[in-house]
Structure 1
Amino acid sequence: MDVLSAVKSTVLDHFGVTPDAVDSASVTFLGLEPIEILRIPGDGAVHYATLGGSRHPMGDPGDLLADPVRGPRAELVLTLRLGAGPQSGLVRTLGVLVASPSVEGLVLQPDSLIDLSEPLWQGSHFTAVLLGEGEVPATPLPEPAEPVAYFSVTPITATEAAWVRVRGAQALRDAWTEAGIDVTDPGRRAVNL
């Protein structure tokens, strides 16, 4: 079963691009297989999609034996508006996030708050991310494997991360909507909470 080929095909089809229109970079962590980050141009935006997190199912790190087939699988998609300059270090950060199930035993899911406690890219004031339901449709895999889910990645500030811990993810999303915050703007400020 070539999971990554199916994932890449789903992502490219969703964004309506061919492989030659996409840039990619590879991130490697000790003891893990390489993770590829696709950089997909869009209309006034750029989409970063991980390729490698779904290679293995996510599972409970306390299990004595990991099931090599059953269990949730996920990839991450981050969309940023163009025009804010390069985001140096972002590829590595996305690699860290999508590798967190293998390294930290996290199970990625909507409303997950992942706090890295360091800038997501050089010069960024975002230090955490909030995962949400992605727009890319799930990639079906042969039974008994679960489909690959795609989660949106929203960069958030330390203040916004604290808000999520106290009030929940939906309360932060509601505050963004009320304030007219464009979460794809890499230069945006935290919403006044």
Structure 2
Amino acid sequence: MSDVTTAVSEQLDQHFSGYHRDEAQITFLGNEPMRLLRFVPDSGSGDDDVVWYSSLGCSAHPMDPEAINPDPGAPRAEIVLGVRRGIDAVGKTLAMIAASPSVEGVVLREGLLIDLESPLWPGSSFTAVILTPSPVPDVAGDWGADVVVYQAVPVTQTEAAWVRLKSADTLREAWTEAGVDILDPDRSAVQPRD
């Protein structure tokens, strides 16, 4: 594990203290293995039915897709995704999102819509995510840019269309106005106002 991913791992453990941590690994052809972490709350800890999933490995390299030798100061990121009651099948989707900088040259950033055009897990009505600020603090170190930990929030096709037409901020405002629990895997789509 690199210094960067070690620091991120420690930050995640600190943030999710009081949770039980599990780990798996997934490899995409031609890429370094991506580690997937699952944080299951111990009873009595905070929002005790939300399971958090996290990538670990995306931040090992700066996101500088145009450069042969990436700038160490280019952005670095990891992704977390919270699901009320947990759905472990979302882990593969999370790994695909976290691998998109090395596989597709995507630079992960706040407000980015990532449309997978298929259910995020079997039976899901969500086919995309938007990246929002997460509850996990950024991770600073001497490797260059801080590692930003984004939260991937599942969105439906309808919501994804609104993000394309308006913005991720418009959708987040609609969720707030409607009192939507974005961690609920069974929630309905929200129709933002014109």
TM-score by length of 1: 0.91
Q: Counterparts of 1:142 and 1:17 in 2: how far apart (Å)?
A: 29
Gaps of 5+ in 2: 42-47
- Counterpart in 2 of 1:147? 146
Once the two structures are superposed, the pairs formed by residues 33-182 of structure 1 within 5 Å of their partners are: 33-42=32-41, 43-59=48-64, 61-63=65-67, 65-67=68-70, 69-82=72-85, 86-88=87-89, 90-143=90-143, 145-182=144-181
Which letter does structure 2 place at the counterpart of 1:177?
A: T
Which letter does structure 2 place at the counterpart of 1:16?
A: S
Which letter does structure 2 place at the counterpart of 1:11?
A: L
What is the DSSP-based 3-state SS (H/G/I as helix, E as strand, rest coil) of the residue aligned with 2:132? strand
Q: Counterparts of 1:176 and 1:7 in 2: how far apart (Å)?
A: 29
Q: Counterparts of 2:70 and 2:88 in 1: how far apart (Å)?
A: 36
Q: Counterparts of 1:190 and 1:94 in 2: how far apart (Å)?
A: 21
Per-residue deviation, residues 15-57 of structure 1 (Å, max 9, x unmatched): 1147xx2111111001111111111013121000110100100
Q: CA RMSD in A?
A: 1.5
Q: Counterparts of 1:27 and 1:99 in 2: how far apart (Å)?
A: 10
What is the DSSP-based 3-state SS (H/G/I as helix, E as strand, rest coil) of the residue aligned with 2:95? helix
Which letter does structure 1 place at the counterpart of 2:62?
A: P
Which letter does structure 1 place at the counterpart of 2:147?
A: V
Per-residue deviation, residues 148-175 of structure 1 (Å, max 9, x unmatched): 1100110000100000011111110111
Once the two structures are superposed, the pairs formed by residues 7-46 of structure 1 within 5 Å of their partners are: 7-17=8-18, 21-42=20-41, 43-46=48-51
Q: Counterparts of 2:184 and 2:73 in 1: how far apart (Å)?
A: 37
Is the Cα–Cα contact under 8 Å of residues 56 and 68 in structure 1 kept in the other structure? no
Gaps of 5+ in 1: none
Is the Cα–Cα contact under 8 Å of residues 159 and 191 in structure 2 kept in the other structure? no
Q: What number of residue pairs does the alignment pair up?
A: 185
Question: Cα offset for 1:87?
Answer: 4.4
Q: Counterparts of 1:54 and 1:188 in 2: how far apart (Å)?
A: 31
What percent identity do the matched residue pairs reach? Answer: 46
Per-residue deviation, residues 69-102 of structure 1 (Å, max 9, x unmatched): 23110000101111xx7442x1111110001011
Q: Counterparts of 1:48 and 1:68 in 2: how far apart (Å)?
A: 28
